[in-house]
Structure 1
Amino acid sequence: MNTKAFFPNKTTILDSFSTSKFFADLKPQHKLIQSQTWADSHIDLLALDLKPAANIVTIAAGACHALAYLSAKPAAIHCVDDNPAQLALLEIKAKALIHLPDYDAVLKFLALPHQTDNLKRYQRHLRANLSDQASHYWQKRNLIGRPRYFAFSENLQEHGYYNTSLRALRFLLTQLGARFDKLQQAKDLTQQNQIFEQTILPALQNHYFLFLMRRRFVLNRLGFNQNQITRLKNANQDELSQILIQRLRRLLCDFSIQDNHFAQQVIGQTYQIQQQQSLPLYLQKEVFPQLRQYAHRVHPQQNRLINFLQQQSEQSIDAFVLQDHLDYLHPDDIKALWQEINRCAAPGAKVLIRSLGTQLPLPQLVFQNAETSWQTNALRNQELQNKDRCALYGSLFVFEKIAKI
């Protein structure tokens, strides 16, 4: 297999998109933003209902979702982002699935903290199989002189701009009295709710915490740009801080902590490898053989989404996973992007959209097309949203392309 195919030979640094847009104002350019995807891959697969040999386009993000799609035996998964750090993360995760000796080695490399043997695994099995761009990223040293690949010997889930911000926020809440450790001891949802009310909610309602949640620079640091802040406010008449508290309550109270790796990461708990159902789908043992077989079909693309789609043939894409990308775009940009999606979408193609707000981030004018139409099922969308264990988004929409007769 030609491992250099993971990155194109020629790349162009283009306008911000995806995870580069994720952090406004204070975000460092071309640094790792997130080490995992904050979207439930189980829900994605239910929503998309992918058929074998599907051609998929998605943002790269933390790569967890894209790798999970390999369980559907796709023809190709094009992961688009203009941030080379996120693409380097995607590549090393995919190469780990292919080149590490077995499932246990993959689990130790990608899921377990404090694994010094991961440095040997990187040198023996992965470094020579990385593209030049990805190898350069992981070999580069940080401010204290350690190569970036040392992240895999520590706790990968604690690395990244978003994760650093989350860790700081968790520390602050702990200083204000939050007892996240007690949630890990809960035996059922009733106990989780009681613990949340008694030991976490008071810290979230602390005046100092609420003051910080009203500061734009804090929200920027946590990953919200002005468009998303506006969408969150439009989702409810409550203050933004109250909306965030409601989302956090749902994350920590509506799903079993033991089965929810999103909640585990928020409260500072590492992946619970003894409980397979709590792991991200791409790390579960039952899908490992398929992921190992098809991981070479993941193709990182350093580009803007609209530019990438402009290079694709008509009716060539079966699924588009936009995550919350539309939250960041001006209506005119959304219209231009949707025109390309409409052109590239094969009959029956599906588009998955998430938003921090509760309203569809698509103006009606994008559906004014004489030749094709897009349909969605509001009840099904809400059903999927209710099952999404990430719980931090306010809405989820699935559109299917229908040819007009």
Structure 2
Amino acid sequence: MQISTPQFAAETQKKVESAVVRKGAGMGTRLLDQAFTFAFRGLVYAQIWEDPAVDMEALQIGPDSRVVAIASGGCNVLSYLVADPDRITAIDLNTAHVALNKLKLASARHLPDYALFRRFFAEADSKANIEAYKTFVARHLDETTRRYWEGRDLTGRRRINAFGKNIYKRGLLGNFIGIAHLLAKIYRIDLSRILAANSVEEQRAVFEAEMAPVFDRKFVRWLTEQPASLFGLGIPPAQFDALAGDQPMAEVLRRRLAKLACDFEVSDNYFAWQAFSRGYGRTPDCPLPPYLQAENWQTVRSRIDRVEVLHANMTEWLSSQADASLDRYVLLDAQDWMTDAQLDDLWRQITRTARSGARVLFRTAAEPSLLPGRVDDALLSRWTYHAEASLDYTRRDRSSIYGGVHLYELK
């Protein structure tokens, strides 16, 4: 039976519009913002692009930690379970992300062994995954989530079938990476050479010889100056401006790609595998997110009931929570979208709900923290910014696409 779910996309678009569209801006700016919200209606990230190893080190998650995080693709939320938190609340405006997180939770609970779980989410391109979904997972999903996965996308494909044809090629990010691979093919660049390199030095030599020059091409420089060209990275127009600053976007992207390609061994960087092969590696020793690693399977499975997934606005949800009831906050890069008033509202609720020693981690497209001068000084003065640690976390974030990783701690 075909199940149509247009209300899911409409609900997501309404929530994202309230967060992204700059109400006081000119008509052209608002139209561009609305174009982003339309693109954001469906799946954006099949895999989250923030490094969970950095997150867990910065947050110092422990047995009494009560974590609230923007869910995105769910990789990090499940990976945090390795650090043994008390509970995690995963929140997202995007219905597709909520459905993906709930699918991952149900799969961790009900797939019979690690091999099936790994095949489903690490390989994600076997028809056997669809049978596993029908046999072990579907009946355990809530009605909304099941209707999403058994419904059809705009091309008429049943969404769950993406796990039989590589889910990592789907969504805005998957399509963006696909276009990058097409451009590489046109310019006769073999991206797989990075993954075959035997050292960081060899990776850098490949990058400098083959990849770096493409950013000097006139078409590439023109293309990267169009804000809509980065919608596939989940970057709205306001964040595009912050990312570019006063430099050509081609130079910014060349620098970020150089970090991804050259600063970390590809044998330990699954983000590089996603970028250069459109999926994870297939060998037993290939790098994977913590929740997909064999040694963490039983741990993740045994703690999966500590995770709650909600379709909500972060600030609104926090406003419903008790004073001093949370202590770890993961905001991803959502603040890059926000007005000063929205930032104030968010940090007022974070500060009210934060327990002593609470930590907030977020990322920004540009390098510096965006909070000074924008969040009420009376609020921000209650928090300590770990400047040196933040620089170190930025340097070691293997995803490489952000300008800054920032850590604040309640005084």
Please confirm whether the aligned pair reaches a TM-score higher than 0.5, indicating the same fold: yes
Q: Of 85, 89, 92, which residue of structure 1 is paired with 2:100?
A: 89
User: Is the contact made by 2:358 and 2:410 (CA closer than 8 Å) also made in structure 1?
Assistant: yes
Deviates more, 1:139-148 or 1:238-247: 139-148
Q: Is the 8 A contact 1:321 1:353 kept in 2?
A: yes
**Shift, 1:17, TM fit:** 7.7
Number of aligned residues: 389
What's the Cα RMSD here? 2.3
Q: CA deviation at 1:272?
A: 2.1
Q: Which residue of 1 aligns with 2:252?
A: 243
| Aligned residue runs from structure 1 range 193-232, under 5 A | 193-232=204-243
Aligned to 1:15: 15
Write the mapping of 1:4-403 to structure 2, written as runs, cut at 5 A. Answer: 15-16=15-16, 25-26=35-36, 27-28=38-39, 30-143=41-154, 145-234=156-245, 237-276=246-285, 278-364=287-373, 366=375, 368-369=377-378, 373-402=382-411
| Equivalent position SS for 2:378 | coil
Q: 1:19 to 1:297 in 2, by over 3 A?
A: farther
Structure 1 87/331 Cα, relative in aligned 2: closer, same or farther at 3 Å?
Answer: same
Moved more, 280-289 or 321-330: 280-289
Shift of 1:376: 2.2
Q: Is the 8 A contact 2:168 2:278 kept in 1?
A: no
- Contiguous gaps of at least 5 residues in structure 2: 1-10, 22-32
Secondary structure of the residue aligned to 1:47 is helix
Deviations 1:64-97 (A, max 9, x none): 0100011122222111112211100001111111
Question: Aligned partner of 2:402: which letter?
Answer: Y
Alpha-carbon separation, structure 2, partners of 1:225 and 1:30: 13
- CA distance in 1 between counterparts of 2:386 and 2:153 reads 48
Report percent identity of matched pairs. 28
> Match of 1:232, as an amino acid?
L
Give secondary structure in 2 for the equivalent of 1:224. Answer: coil
State the one-letter code of the partner of 1:25.
Answer: A
Shift of 1:274: 2.9
Q: How far is 1:185 from its partner?
A: 1.8
Partner of 2:277, secondary structure, is coil
Distance 1:105 1:257 in 2: 25
Match of 2:28 in 1: none
Contact 1:19 1:33 in 2 (8 A): no
Q: Which amino acid in 2 is paired with 1:279? A: L
Higher helix share: 2
**Take 1:226 and 1:332, find their aligned partners in 2: how far apart are those partners?**
18
Counterpart position of 2:3: none
- Looking at structure 2, the residues matched to 389 and 371 of structure 1 have their Cα atoms a distance apart, in angstroms, of 29
Q: Is the 8 A contact 2:215 2:254 kept in 1?
A: yes
CA 1:203–1:372 in structure 2 vs 1: closer, same or farther (change >3 Å)?
A: closer
Q: Distance in 2 between matches of 1:370 and 1:377?
A: 16
How many angstroms does 1:169 deviate by?
2.2
Distance change >3 Å, CA 238–CA 371, structure 1 → 2: closer
The answer on whether the counterparts of 1:112 and 1:271 sit within 8 Å (CA) in structure 2 is yes
Once the two structures are TM-superposed, the CA of residue 53 in structure 1 deviates from its matched residue by 3.2
CA deviation after TM superposition for structure 1 residue 207, in Å: 1.4
Instruction: Provide closer, same or farther for how the CA distance between residues 30 and 365 of structure 1 changes in structure 2, counting only shifts above 3 A.
Output: closer
Query: What one-letter code is carried by the residue in structure 1 that aligns with 2:256?
Result: R
Which residue type is aligned with residue 16 of structure 2?
S
Matched to 1:200, the amino acid is M
Q: Which stretches of structure 1, 4 residues or more, deviate above 6 A after TM superposition?
A: 17-21
TM-score of the aligned structures, taking structure 2 as reference length:
0.89
Alpha-carbon separation, structure 2, partners of 1:267 and 1:193: 14
* Unaligned runs of at least 5 residues, structure 1: 1-11
2:337 is matched by which residue type in structure 1? Answer: Y
Offset of residue 348 of structure 1: 0.7
What SS class does the counterpart of residue 341 from structure 1 fall into?
helix
CA gap of 1:269–1:57, structure 2 versus 1, over 3 A, is: same
